[in-house]
Structure 1
Amino acid sequence: MRRVPANRGGGDGGPRRVVRISWGRANRPGVALDGHNATTLRAGRDHCRLRFRRSQARRISWVQPTTHKMWCTVSQTQPRNPSPGAQSIVPAAAKDNHATATTKPMSKVRAVPFLERGRGGSRGDGLGGAMRGLQSSRLTGYPVHLPESFMSDADRPHRVLNIAPDHAGWRLDAYLSARFSSWSRTAVQKAIKRGEILVDGRRAKASLKLEALDVLRIYTKGYAPDGPPPPLPPVLYEDDRLLVINKPPGLLAHPAGDRFAYAVIGLMKEARPSCRVDLCHRLDRDTSGVMVLSKDLEANTHIKTQLRERSAHLQKTYLALVRGDVDWTERDVRAPIGDRQDTEIRLRRGVTDEGLPARTVFSALQKHSGHSLVQCALHTGRTHQIRVHLEHIGHPILGDKVYGQPDRVFLEWHEQGATPFVRARAGFPRQCLHAWKLRLQHPDGPALELEAPLPRDMQQVVDGALPVWPAPSSTPEAES
């Protein structure tokens, strides 16, 4: 501990005292005394704490970082006897990363957001790690002014993982390689070394032992978002119990696999944080239309029971653009659906004698040159039922890369993207299937009839445009 003489004539117009703070190693606290005020810093894995007498601590500015020692300047322009109204206010939301702590009144002083709680760090952490820890401590209610560079990580697209108590004590690299089966431990260690994985807002070592409630931020390409989220899907109906949207094509209902992808459930949970938003059913990634989400557990159970038991109040109707000119006005297809054994595609289903009973009623609405618009009424709810039945009767859906195609189409599309072969065989960038109408019983009693308009790409074909495939895009991920 060391006391440095006061430096008169500070830049704030008042006396300034400079103290030298010893940054404690491991779990040994470093303590510095400034007159009658004690400042305690705990390094290692403990929280960092600062305690200053409010009458003398107007603000704290860090000037120069070193390995274990830092210079702290305490400006003494705050009145020694502040008025009773100048009380420190730390809102209850201060636990959140975006909360702010302010002092009332505070003229000409800007409050900055708190970061998450800090940890002591290794030699290489320097000022950045210390400042994150100090900023997360409550101080005295006076704002801490940091360079913008220390808060730039929060603005970059990233994936957040919250460590559950069950995973406390795991090594950082071991946890991530177990959490993401396609991410090897060696690759994880390289990402950690590159600074692409932060623990509580700070760089860490691969050997770091995780603690409960730690917050991991992942910036590695493929495992983190590469851009801003898509716009929220249009809302068709909403009340205190249900939320019904018009899902656009290309958006997952729920994340699938290790690779990051925006999905309906994540977007709507973020948009309605005060509700318990859950999916009542799913649609394939390329399928658009009516999709129902619940806002409480009872409503979720009510809707799922109707879907599972095929309630008399339930009616689901789809629209599909199919290949070929259909030669019927209506067709009732009753064919069992089960797993196919003659395919390399695991998710592919087919009509099999051992399958579960399935029934779909098709009605021809429009006939065009080489394709037709068909209405599909579901009487059972098997996986890929409409796609399987349309393939079974010789009219697969336009743009479908699985049904009505050899395995090579889907496998090549999945591995290489929109190659000339895939484009020629599929004829359209996505399967032209749309969840058009849905009738169900509301959890509070009345019947709901919902309808979603056709998306633009299908509507253009219905209006007479020829099916086209736009310019090739990047390699897509597997279908849900």
Structure 2
Amino acid sequence: MNDQSITEITREATIPDAAAGRRLDAVLAELFPEFSRARLQRWLKEGALTVNGTSPRGRVAVKGGEQVRITATQSEEGVVEPEPIPLEIVYEDEALLVINKPAGLVVHPGAGNAAGTLQNALLHHDARLGGLPRGGIVHRLDRDTTGLMVVAKTLQAHTHLVEQLQARTVGREYLALVTGTFTAGGKVDAPIGRHPRDRLRMAVQEAGKPAVTHYRIDTRFPAHTLLRCKLESGRTHQIRVHMAHLHHPIVGDSLYGGRLRMPGGVESVPAPEGPWPPRKGDIEPPTVADCLRWFRRQALHAETLTLVHPARGETLSWSVDLPTDYAGLLEALTAHRAVVEEAEAEERNRGWRP
């Protein structure tokens, strides 16, 4: 690709009444999540972004109901280059494509990840995506989170999908393996903002953005629980932060999970066949404990995606299986559960008298 690319950007939106009293720059960031705050601020100053026909300062308070319009050219220096990175495409048509993202794939270039990203792969798959913001990407998954993502292939589809995300009509269900046991499902309604001391982390903060996660129990294990989580909002690291807030961090989450907590008995339970390597310096087969130590990414998988097709108006839904490493870990925990249940049954039988 050329060293410079220019894209015509046109957007319109109405500031919701519920935003009354909030700063304009914060509201704009939520209305147009595909653009950085710095870019939105620059367009305000240049007059390319108007509110009711004027270009106010970003810190002014909004009243609700204002009409926002962007008419700008987006010039990108150091354009993202296409790279032949394999993609698992679940669905594709003229308006969108749905992919199953593997662990380890960063969504778009950033600090420390100038290449080798999903965006690079998308541009190799379809060069026309270079004319869309971030190659058509409308939402993200963390680097080591797996599962379904939707990508727009036209500007109209991009606008429609972003509006669906803002209206919270896109259905996303995740499988999250967490530490500890639950007795029932529930809801976490806790705002999320940047951590005050660690800029790499997010945290539950009173001044953060609203964030709601619903969860229900899928499978119980002796010391872990597999949850099905649905998002009302899409904050950075939302499920990871909310589960840590409940003191049930996601297994393998080095950023929010802290030290690995090992349930009793797993050192002696052989693991079923799986993707894990044998223990170093040992010819014995791996145990469940080895599997837990080996799984070094957050056990979070975007299993199901539901949305309204931006061109046809019909509701579509997709689901994908767990990746091999995640499925193998669940098999290992299932093996441990069987051993625990057998021991408990023997204990009950010893205490029984005819």
Counterpart mapping for 1:153-164 below 5 A? 162=3
Match of 1:436 among 303, 322, 339: 303
What CA distance in whole angstroms lies between the structure 2 residues aligned with 1:339 and 1:247?
A: 25
How far residue 335 of structure 1 moved from its aligned partner, in angstroms, is: 1.3
What CA distance in whole angstroms lies between the structure 2 residues aligned with 1:308 and 1:264?
A: 23
Give the structure 2 partner of residue 114 of structure 1: none
In the TM superposition, what whole-angstrom CA distance separates every residue of 1:157-181 from its partner, at most 9, and x where no partner exists?
Answer: xxx772679xxxxxxxxxxxxxxxx
How far residue 241 of structure 1 moved from its aligned partner, in angstroms, is: 0.5
Give the structure 1 partner of residue 185 of structure 2: 330
In the TM superposition, what whole-angstrom CA distance separates every residue of 1:316-365 from its partner, at most 9, and x where no partner exists?
Answer: 111111112x2322121111212222x3x312111122222221111111
Match of 1:455 among 319, 323, 332: 323
Counterpart mapping for 1:234-249 below 5 A? 234-249=88-103
Distance 1:164 1:458, change over 3 A: closer
Match of 1:285 among 135, 143, 168: 143
Q: Is residue 229 of structure 2 the alignment partner of residue 388 of structure 1?
A: no
Q: Is residue 216 of structure 2 the alignment partner of residue 348 of structure 1?
A: no
Q: Is residue 157 of structure 2 the alignment partner of residue 267 of structure 1?
A: no
Distance 1:164 1:462, change over 3 A: closer
Give the residue type in structure 2 aligned to 1:263: T
Segments of structure 1 that go 5 or more residues without pairing to the other structure are 1-159, 166-215, 217-223, 407-422, 468-480
Segments of structure 2 that go 5 or more residues without pairing to the other structure are 7-77, 260-289, 336-354
Distance 1:340 1:425, change over 3 A: farther
What CA distance in whole angstroms lies between the structure 1 residues aligned with 2:158 and 2:236?
A: 20
What CA distance in whole angstroms lies between the structure 2 residues aligned with 1:258 and 1:399?
A: 22
Instruction: Answer yes or no: is the 8 Å Cα contact 2:174–2:304 preserved in 1.
Output: yes
Distance 1:274 1:339, change over 3 A: closer
What CA distance in whole angstroms lies between the structure 1 residues aligned with 2:185 and 2:107?
A: 31
Could you list the structure 1 runs, at least 4 aligned residues long, displaced by more than 6 angstroms after superposition. Answer: 423-427
Counterpart mapping for 1:2-81 below 5 A? none
What CA distance in whole angstroms lies between the structure 1 residues aligned with 2:293 and 2:233?
A: 27
How far residue 424 of structure 1 moved from its aligned partner, in angstroms, is: 12
Give the TM-score, by structure 2 length.
0.58
Instruction: Answer yes or no: is the 8 Å Cα contact 1:398–1:427 preserved in 2.
Output: no
Match of 2:156 among 295, 298, 302: 298
What CA distance in whole angstroms lies between the structure 2 residues aligned with 1:346 and 1:379?
A: 24
Identity of aligned residues (%): 40
Match of 1:372 among 209, 220, 225: 225
Counterpart mapping for 1:415-434 below 5 A? 428-434=295-301
Q: Helix, strand or coil for the counterpart of 2:158? A: helix
Q: Is residue 100 of structure 2 the alignment partner of residue 233 of structure 1?
A: no
Name which one, 1 or 2, has greater alpha-carbon Rg: 1
Q: Relative contact order (C-alpha < 8 Å, sep 6+): which is higher?
A: 2
Give the residue type in structure 2 aligned to 1:266: N
- Superposed CA RMSD in Å reads 3.0
